[in-house]
């Protein structure tokens, strides 16, 4: 189904009609690539570019390479003068090469990219930590990869192919459509994803063998958040950007979630007792009756919950999910050993054998059935 995009200038006075901006078309998709180079948030604010015009092992050039905070590699291909079906096939062909890349090869790709395009950070380690606030060695690079076709439009056949690959072949491929507009000499871009990228269940191509999901959720609790408050009042948290808060919406009442503090270890398991909500609306029981958590904790205790959020920036707010702790431990008693599952997503549904092993070990260590 073709996606039509439009922009209207709102009327300034009563009785005045909204004005639709004039579409101008993208005469040069190379210009779009240059805009993405300057600000990758045009595609996704949670991505970081690591390569441009990257030469593959079969002497083809990938337009753009990016990674996210979980180490997932994103192949970005602009349609340019290729036919819709050709650009989809070519993107999949590139993925067959990307999946073979080791950590050191991605590091070398970024180093060449940084040197050629004068990026502010010379090494992938520095750039990754500056962008995401976590060390590169805390994630597994290229365990997953995703494919994105950037175009003004695709034909119906190509859209059917992309939908089929996502739904039935477990291949994470998406398309982003751009339109250009002009108003009084000013130029604008609008964008629309073909498939909602915020859908938590969207698959990613994985190198590792998958196992059936065991029904147990994983949660990452940031070490900059107040773990003892979370134990006392019963919540898990995420926020600061959509990437960190949106996966909390995966949790529903009755789900069981195992909580890990990165670089420290597993500190608890809980049953979800409610839906995700804004932290400034989160209610807790006190001796004086129900109160908002924000009203009873100080700025020093929990700075995230007191952070102001600008209008239209709700995705940057702190979000909480209420839980009942089945077992929880202070950080000095965290459970950690070689071979346990780890992930930078706030919440996820792991399907790796390592997750099955992790849950088994935690049940043994904590005496949980």
CATH number at residue 59: 3.40.1350.10
189 and 264 both lie in a single domain: no
Residue 2 scores a pLDDT above 70: no
Model confidence at 206: pLDDT above 70: no
What token pair was written down for 301? 């205790």
Residue 122 has pLDDT above 50, yes or no: yes
Residue 185 covered by a domain: yes
Are 260 and 198 found together in one domain? Answer: no
Section 116-128 average pLDDT: 92
CATH number for the domain harbouring residue 297: 3.10.590
Question: Among 174, 206, 238, where does a domain finish?
Answer: 206
Domain check: are 249 and 178 in the same one? Answer: no
Helix, strand, or coil (residue 64): strand
The residue to which tokens 């990026």 are assigned? 119
Summarised one tens digit per residue, pLDDT across range 159-204 is 888 888 887 777 888 888 887 777 877 777 777 777 877 654 444 5
> Residue 203's pLDDT is what?
47
Q: With the CA atoms of 196, 323, 133 and 192 taken in that order, what torsion angle do they form, in degrees rounded to the nearest 10?
A: 10
Q: Which of 79-88, 111-120, 151-160, 228-237 has the lowest mean pLDDT?
A: 79-88
Least confident segment among 28-42, 44-58, 99-113, 268-282: 28-42
The answer to whether residues 155 and 258 belong to one domain is: no
CB atoms within 10 A of CB 109: 20
Same-domain status, 51 and 168: yes
200 with 224, same domain: the answer is no
Lowest pLDDT segment from 207-221, 258-272, 305-319, 324-338: 207-221
Residue 364 reports pLDDT greater than 80 = yes
What pLDDT shows up at residue 64?
94
The one-character DSSP state at 20 is E
Residue 338 covered by a domain: yes
* 2 is a domain residue: no
Q: Are residues 95 and 185 in the same domain?
A: yes
Read off the DSSP letter of residue 299: T
Same domain, 202 and 343: no
Task: Tell whether 303 and 200 lie within a shared domain.
Answer: no
How far is Cα 243 from Cα 46, in angstroms, rounded to an integer? 6
Asked whether residue 249 is assigned to any structural domain, the reply reads yes
| Residue that is last in its domain, among 206, 234, 262 | 206
Question: Residue 210 CB: number of other CB atoms within 10 A?
Answer: 12
Residue 60 domain boundaries: 8-206
- The pTM of this model reads 0.59
Which structure tokens are listed for 122? Answer: 């010379």
Q: What is the pLDDT of residue 200?
A: 47
Distance of CA 299 to the CA centre of its chain: 28
Residue 212 located in a structural domain: no
- 232 in the same domain as 156: no
**Predicted pLDDT at 28:** 62
- The answer as to whether 133 is a domain residue is yes
- Dihedral angle, C-alpha 42, 111, 78, 48, nearest 10 °: -30
**Of 206, 232, 264, which residue sits at a domain end?**
206
Residues 190 and 225 grouped into a single domain: no
Q: How high is the pLDDT of residue 293?
A: 95
Q: pLDDT of 36-82, one tens digit each?
A: 898 998 888 889 999 999 999 899 999 999 999 889 999 999 876 56
Residue 3 maps to a domain: no
- More confidently predicted of 8 and 37: 37
What's the rounded mean pLDDT across residues 268-289? 93
**Same domain for 317 and 175?**
no
**Per the domain annotation, does 1 fall within a domain?**
no
Number of domains in the chain: 2
Instruction: List residues bridging with 225 in a β-sheet.
Output: none
């Amino acid at each position: 189904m073709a996606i039509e995009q439009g922009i209207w200038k709102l009327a300034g006075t009563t009785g005045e009609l909204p004005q639709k901006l004039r579409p101008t078309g993208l005469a040069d998709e190379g210009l779009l690539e240059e805009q993405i180079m300057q600000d990758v948030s045009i595609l996704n604010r949670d991505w970081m570019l690591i390569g441009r015009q990257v030469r593959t092992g079969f002497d083809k050039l990938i337009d753009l390479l990016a990674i996210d905070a979980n180490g997932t590699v994103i192949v970005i291909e602009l349609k340019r003068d290729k036919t819709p079906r050709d650009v989809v096939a070519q993107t999949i062909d590139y993925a067959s090469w990307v999946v073979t890349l080791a950590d050191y090869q991605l590091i070398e790709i970024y180093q060449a990219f940084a040197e050629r395009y004068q990026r502010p950070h010379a090494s992938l380690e520095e750039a990754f930590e500056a962008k995401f606030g976590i060390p590169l060695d805390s994630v597994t690079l290229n365990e997953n990869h995703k494919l994105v076709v950037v175009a003004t439009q695709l034909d119906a056949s190509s859209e059917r192919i992309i939908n089929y690959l996502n739904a039935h072949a477990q291949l994470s491929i998406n398309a982003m459509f751009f339109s250009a507009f002009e108003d009084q000499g000013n130029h604008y871009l609008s964008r629309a994803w073909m498939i909602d990228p915020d859908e938590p269940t969207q698959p990613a191509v994985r190198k590792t063998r998958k196992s059936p999901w065991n029904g147990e959720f994983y949660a990452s609790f940031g070490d900059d958040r107040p773990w003892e408050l979370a134990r006392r009042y019963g919540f898990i948290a995420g926020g600061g950007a959509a990437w960190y808060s949106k996966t909390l919406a995966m949790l529903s009442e009755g789900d069981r979630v195992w909580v890990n503090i990165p670089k420290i270890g597993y500190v608890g398991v809980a049953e979800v007792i409610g839906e995700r909500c804004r932290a400034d609306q989160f209610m807790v029981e006190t001796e004086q009756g129900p109160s908002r958590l924000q009203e009873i904790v100080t700025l020093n205790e929990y700075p995230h919950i007191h952070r102001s959020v600008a209008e239209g920036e709700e995705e940057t707010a702190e979000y909480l999910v209420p839980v009942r702790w089945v077992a929880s431990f202070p950080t000095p008693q965290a459970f950690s050993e070689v071979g346990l599952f780890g992930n930078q997503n706030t919440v996820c549904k792991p399907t790796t054998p390592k997750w099955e092993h992790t849950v088994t070990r935690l049940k043994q260590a904590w005496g949980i059935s």
